[in-house]
Amino acid sequence: MPGPDPVVHPTATVHPQAQLESGVFVGPYCLVGGQVALGRNARLESHVVLEGLTEIGPDCRIGSHSVIGTDPQDVGDAGEETRVTLGAGNILREFVTIHRGTARGSGATRLGDRNYLMAFVHVGHDCRIGNETILTQGATLGGHVAVEDFANIGGLCGVHQFCRIGRYAFVGGATILTQDVAPFSRVAGSRPARFLGLNLVGLRRQGFDKDRLAALKALFNILFYSDLNTGQAVERIKAEFPSSEDAQELLAFVGSAKRGFIKKVSDPWDRESD
């Protein structure tokens, strides 16, 4: 059965070539460009601006004064046709900005499903965000940043271009990131950001059982807290955890880190307790 027709507030401006699926709501004073596609039951609150090749998945909610799909903030951008895509069930609160990709980059800025972006979050060009992440108020992602599934980024964080934040990682508020954040880990602070151990609270909330947490603690002890250098720690983990999917994920992330990853313990109090 077809759903209800889209509802467009009389003060909104929707280009006749824009694609609006069933159940879409476009609120007061919104602006929707001709290359925009809005999936089923997507909802735009007031004063939302959607431009360029922008695809919004089903059941997304976009808060007032958000701007999505405008030109990338890249001095080398020459107006090439690039895009923004959002998956299903994303919630974007007030004043979120997401820019299109660049021709020199991936050509697209992409968000997966069920992400929660709070007020004033900025997602720069060519960023890739996975599924079920949380970006708190004022978090700012430079271009080409990757945020993997279930990561949590605190308020007012600044993430340098090309950095990666691994799955299930937690970044504390007002952190400045210039290197990658390993999966399952917790970091905070600046000058530089400090490694604070395993993200125990977040992992427990995600349903990690005691055995899996114990194995991750053992992995972290080798990689982050032993006297081994990174190469030696990697070889030891391969030998001791040959069939662990978490170990394989951690090693793959570390092995592909182009900017390095946050690992230094500033003082003994930073170490995660048992």
Strands 152-153 and 164-165: unpaired
Helix (H) or strand (E) holding 109: strand 108-111
Half-sphere exposure of 194 (CA within 13 A, CB side): 12
25 has which bridge partners?
7, 43
126 part of the active site: yes
* φ, ψ for residue 74, nearest 5 deg: -140, 120
274 part of the active site: no
Tokens 């694609």, residue?
A: 19
Contacts (Cβ under 8 Å, ≥6 apart) of 231: none
The two tokens of residue 249 are 């994920």
Question: What is the crossing angle of helices 245-255 and 210-220, to 10°?
Answer: 30
The two tokens of residue 18 are 């824009």
DSSP string, 155-191: TT-EE-TT-EE-TT-EE-TT-EESSBB-TTEEEE-SS
Closest CA relative to residue 61, chosen from 84, 98, 86, 82:
86
**Active-site position among 74, 77, 126, 180:** 126
Q: For the chain, what is the total number of helices (H) and then of strands (E)?
A: 4, 28
Taken in order 6, 13, 88, 207, the sign of the CA dihedral is negative
**Active-site position among 47, 65, 122, 125:** 125
Please identify every residue annotated as catalytic: 125-126, 143
